[in-house]
Amino acid sequence: MEVWDAIRRRRSIRKYKSQPVGEELVQKILEAGRWAPSASNMQMWGTREFVVVKDAKIMEIIRKVSPGCPKTAPLAIFACSNRKRAYEKCGKFARDYLTTVDCAMAVENMLLMAHSLGLGACTVKSFSSVAVKQILEIPENVEPELMVTIGYPDEKPAPPPKIALEKITYLDRYGDKLFKKG
Amino acid sequence: MAINCSKKDDEHVGNKKKDEGNEYLFELATFLAVSASGCMDEPPSYGSLRLIEALSKLIDLPKHVSCLSEDKFLKGIKNDIDEKSSLILSNMEEFNGFIDELVSRFVIELKERQKRLS
């Protein structure tokens, strides 16, 4: 699948079939996350970690403490930032900001990989961090930044409205149009 | 107004149904608690979203508690919530309109129920 196709055709999937996702596919998705860029290549210090939730009973509890989690998602991956390691290696800015950005970049890679494998995925931030940490026994210095639900899609959402490119792009100076009319 | 699940009804319903009702109530309570926490950081409009999602779950209560019966009006409200709550992601104006429309439908229904009672 071409990158451009994957970017344009990917949708947030909120309805899934019950069919389980194979181990090999999960591993490919995780690899895509691992290969994402990171600030100062912090990832090599283990500042970005992933927790995969496959156990149906644990997934059910996660769903109950995550108002934004699709009801039928069979699997979830939490992209987590190890803030302690980030602070020790790269300081306060890395701990408070860059780790979150790094997780977001990994998640985008994972979404595109899932799509290219014929799977559906959805990024979820509407979960109780306190509850998720307690359920998954995530240590205090590690923060679950984003949840990605994954499964075989049971819906085909229409593309959402997107703002026109000319409204959000400028040339050389903020406010100077990149795309001139006529 | 108190809901009267009489002892006789309880016996008739059996423990299984009671457990199911209690579990559902607990699930709804969990949803409300974590939503209260989430609303501190999420966009303000998500407060409305979580409330109507909770309303949808609340309307399902009769499925799990035998001394409650399904309400046709509320069922219609639930169907529309489940169908239209995702508008918040694509068209905020329509989402706001939908919430206002819900309130308006409740007002009409309130008046009709009042008439029926008097």
Q: Which pLDDT belongs to residue B18?
A: 76
Contacts of A131 in chain B (CB under 8 A): 34
Tokens of A137: 């026994």
- The CA distance from B1 to B114, in Å, is 15
Q: Does A65 sit within 8 Å of B90, measured CB to CB?
A: no
Contacts of B86 in chain A (CB under 8 A): 14
Residue-wise pLDDT for A166-181, tens only, equals 999 999 999 999 987 6
- State whether residue A102 is helix, strand or coil: helix
- The CA distance from B40 to B44, in Å, is 8
* Residue in B23, B26, B31, B34 to test binding to A, most A beta-carbons within 10 Å: B34
| Nearest-CA distance B18 → chain A (Å) | 20
Q: A16 - beta bridge partners?
A: A153
**Domain A3-157 class, CATH top level:** alpha beta
Domain ranges in chain B are: 10-117
Above 80 in pLDDT, residue A136? Answer: yes
Contacts of A123 in chain B (CB under 8 A): none
Contacts of A128 in chain B (CB under 8 A): 34, 37-38
Instruction: Using a CB–CB cutoff of 8 Å, tell me whether B35 touches chain A.
Output: yes
- Residue of chain B minimizing CA distance to A159: B90
Instruction: Using a CB–CB cutoff of 8 Å, tell me whether B6 touches chain A.
Output: no
Contacts of A14 in chain B (CB under 8 A): 86
Domain ranges in chain A are: 3-157
Q: Does A66 sit within 8 Å of B90, measured CB to CB?
A: no
Element (H, E) at A181: none
Decide which of B16 and A21 is more confident: A21
CA distances from B44 to A127, A129, B49, B64 (A): 16, 19, 9, 32
- Residue of chain B minimizing CA distance to A162: B90
| Nearest-CA distance B59 → chain A (Å) | 17
Instruction: Using a CB–CB cutoff of 8 Å, tell me whether B53 touches chain A.
Output: yes
The amino acid sitting at B74 is L
Q: At what angle do helices B72-84 and B92-117 cross, to 10 degrees?
A: 180
**Torsions phi, psi for A180 (to 5 deg):** -95, 140
* Residue in B37, B50, B60 to test binding to A, most A beta-carbons within 10 Å: B37
What ipTM was reported for this prediction?
A: 0.72
| Nearest-CA distance A116 → chain B (Å) | 24
pLDDT band at A1 (very low <50, low <70, confident <90, very high): confident
Contacts of B38 in chain A (CB under 8 A): 67, 126-128
Q: Which pLDDT belongs to residue A180?
A: 75
Task: Chunk chain B into consecutive blocks of 10 residues (it has 118) and report each block's average pLDDT, rounded to whole numbers.
Answer: 56 70 93 94 93 96 89 97 92 94 94 89
Q: Work out the percent of chain A whose per-residue pLDDT is above 90.
A: 95
Q: Does B38 sit within 8 Å of A128, measured CB to CB?
A: yes
The amino acid sitting at A41 is N
